[in-house]
Amino acid sequence: MSEVKGIRRYFKQYNIGNVTAMMKNNKAEPVICSTPFRKKLVMITGATSGIGYAAAHKYASMGADLICINRNTEKSERLCREIRETYQTECACIITDFSVMDQVKKLAEDLQELKRPVDVLIYNAGVHLTRRTETAEGLETVFVVNHLSSFLLTTVLVPIFKKQGHGRILFVNSEGHRFAAWGLRTDDLNWEKRRYSGLGSYGSAKLAQLLTMLIFAEQLEGSGATINAMHPGAVKTEAGKDNGRLYKWYKNNILEKNFRTPEISAEALYYLGVSEEVAHTNGKFFNLTRLEDPAPPAVDREAAEEIFRISKELCGLGEHR
């Protein structure tokens, strides 16, 4: 879809009240869930730092066993030692780089062999780049890491969640999806026909994730399993650490100067993964623990079908039926 078509399609759907609600929610505290989660299995991607690290400690502190999927072996092993020694729960790590689709495909195959049901799956791995880079497959990196890899895994795991009849899938998404204000440029997901924008690529990837969530939610409807997305709040993370000095200075001294710690994100992820209050909520977007209306392009059913089909093709999974 071109930007002009997007403006025509979505302009009248925008509501200033939604933006006001977002700003209010950004300052809110998450609802705290105190329900134990002993001997439940939680899988987290990108758990060696920031939000994923805080979430791993939160779930383990409540008795959960963990499978952490990270790209760094040393950091992963250190995390698992911490979890085991601090909380006396089980922790295993799987090394996978979400920018390498072959590794993600191998992970998808391995996860189908799990003998134990996954109670909560948290997709936290992500990246923000100010310069365009490509993966080994020739795809734009931000789109692959923030959307396509989690899409591939979810496509494979949804039938498993349906069969087991319970479980919650959570996308750590972002209010940044609003940067793609006029929808996805499905004719240029690779950012080859226009000037690259770090915020634009990030917003597009997060928008694609929200759109495909609509289809996944329909597939899970009535099964006992659910899928939802959340904005983790304005918190300090290592996102953007691979960008240049100027960006890192801006991030540390201006952008995140008054941001909060990732522990609030972890509390929100625990609530969304455990609380009975949201046990049957499916296909929704939260700002921390508050339900929120995403931007109009994120609820476009026609656009969801299109990006779902394209994502399947890019993952080598054939067409969506």
In Å, what is the CA distance from 72 to each residue of 19, 47, 76, 96, 100? 37, 10, 6, 8, 14
CA distances (Å), origin 15, targets 24, 27, 64, 242, 300: 15, 20, 40, 35, 15
**14 belongs to the catalytic site:** no
Longest dimension (CA), the chain: 57
Q: Closest Cα to residue 69, out of 111, 19, 128, 15?
A: 111
Q: CA–CA separation, 266 vs 14, rounded Å? A: 30
CA 68 to chain centre: 15
The active-site residue out of 202, 247, 270, 271 is: 202
Closest CA to 161 of 110, 104, 103, 219: 219
Query: b vs e for 246-283, b when ≥16 Cβ sit within 10 Å of the residue's Cβ?
Result: ebeeebeeeebeeeeebbbbbbbbbbbbbbeebeebbb
Rounded to an integer, what distance in angstroms lies between the CA atom of residue 297 and that of residue 252?
31
Specify the DSSP class assigned to residue 220: H
Backbone φ and ψ for 133, nearest 5 degrees, come out as: -135, 160
Catalytic residues: 202
